[in-house]
A and B are shown apart, each in its own frame.
Chain A
Amino acid sequence: MERQAAYLRNALFDQGYLDEQFLQLEDLQDEANPHFVEEVVKLFYTDSVRLIQSIELTLKNTPWDFEKLDNIMHQFKGSSSSIGAKKVKKECSQFQEYCNVGNVEGCIREFQEVKQEHAALKRKLENYFQLAREAR
Chain B
Amino acid sequence: MIVEEIRGDAENFPVGMRVLAVDDDPTCLKLLETLLRKCHYNVTTTNQARVALKMIREKKDRFDLVISDVHMPDMDGFKLLELVGLEMDLPVIMLSANSDPKLVMKGVTHGACYYLVKPIRIEELRNIWQHVIRRKKADSKNQNRSSDQTKAHLASGEGHGSPLAGNTDHNGKFNRKRKDDDDETEDNDNEYEDNGTQKKPRVVWTIELHRKFVQAVNQLGIEKAVPKRILDMMNVEGLTRENVASHLQKYRLYLKRISTVATQQANMAAALGVKDSGFMHLGSLDGFGDFRTFSGARLGNVALSSYPGGMLGRLNSPGNVNICNLTPSTLVQPSLAQNLSNSINPLGKMNLVLPTSNQSPSLFQGIQPSLELDQLQHNKSTTNFNSINNSRIFRNGSTGVALGSSNNLLNSPMSNPLMLHGNTQQPLSGGRFGNQSGPFTSESFNNGVSDPTNENWPNRVDASKMHPNTLLSAEPFHSQLPLSGLRDNNSSNGTYLQNNPIDLSSGLALPPFEDSREMQCQQVGSMGDVQNMAQSWSEQRQGSGSVNQKMDMYTGGRSSGGASALVQQNEKLASESISRSNEDFLFEQPKLPSGFTPQGYDSLDELVNAMIKREQDETVANGEFAFDNYTFGEERKLCGDVAFLSSEADLVASL
A-to-B contact residues, CB < 8 Å: 21, 24-25, 27-28, 33, 36, 39-40, 43-44, 46-47, 71, 74-75, 77-79, 81-84
Contacts and interface: CB of A to CB of B under 8 A. Distances in A.
Those 10 A-B pairs whose CB atoms lie nearest each other, nearest first: A78-B97, A44-B27, A79-B27, A21-B119, A81-B119, A28-B34, A82-B119, A82-B28, A43-B27, A78-B118
A40 B71 contact: no
A15 B551 CA distance: 78
B60 interface: no
A81 to B, nearest CB: 4
B126 to A, nearest CB: 13
23 contacts: A21-B119, A24-B35, A24-B119, A25-B31, A28-B34, A28-B35, A28-B38, A28-B122, A39-B30, A40-B27, A40-B30, A43-B26, A43-B27, A43-B30, A46-B26, A47-B27, A74-B71, A78-B28, A79-B25, A79-B28, A81-B118, A82-B25, A83-B27
B96 interface: yes
Contact of A47 (B25, B38, B98, B121): B25
Best-surrounded residue of B35, B118, B119 (most CB of chain A within 10 A): B119
A36 B33 CA distance: 11
Contact of A24 (B24, B26, B71, B121): B121
Interface in B524-563: none
B45 to A, nearest CB: 13
A81 B35 contact: no
B97 A77 contact: yes
Given A74-B98, A81-B119, A33 B71 contact: no
Contacts of B71: 71, 74-75, 78
Contacts of B119: 21, 24, 81-82, 84
Which of B27, B96, B97 has the most chain A CB atoms closer than 10 A to its own CB?
B27
B166 to A, nearest CB: 20
Contacts of A78: 25, 28, 71, 96-97, 118
A82 B122 CA distance: 12
A44 B28 CA distance: 8
Contacts of B30: 39-40, 43
A27 B24 CA distance: 24
A21 B98 CA distance: 16
Given A21-B119, A46-B26, A79-B28, 10 more contacts: A28-B38, A39-B30, A43-B30, A44-B27, A74-B71, A75-B24, A81-B97, A81-B119, A82-B25, A83-B31
Nearest to B28: A82
Contact of B34 (A36, A75, A77, A84): A36
Contacts of B121: 24
B35 A82 contact: no
Nearest to B123: A24
A24 B122 contact: yes
- Residue of B24, B34, B122 contacting most chain A CB atoms (<10 Å): B34
Given A78-B97, A81-B118, A81-B119, A33 B34 contact: yes
Interface in B360-394: none
Pick the most buried of A27, A33, A79: most chain B CB atoms within 10 A of its CB: A79
Contacts of A84: 119
A24 B467 CA distance: 90
Interface string B444-458: 000000000000000
A40 B31 contact: yes
Interface string B9-31: 00000000000000011111011
A85 to B, nearest CB: 10
A17 to B, nearest CB: 15
Given A40-B27, A78-B28, A78-B97, A27 B122 contact: yes
A77 B25 CA distance: 11
B96 A82 contact: no
A92 B35 CA distance: 25
A36 B31 CA distance: 9
B118 A82 contact: yes
A77 B96 CA distance: 10
A39 B30 CA distance: 9
Contacts of B96: 78
Nearest to B72: A75
Contacts of B98: 74
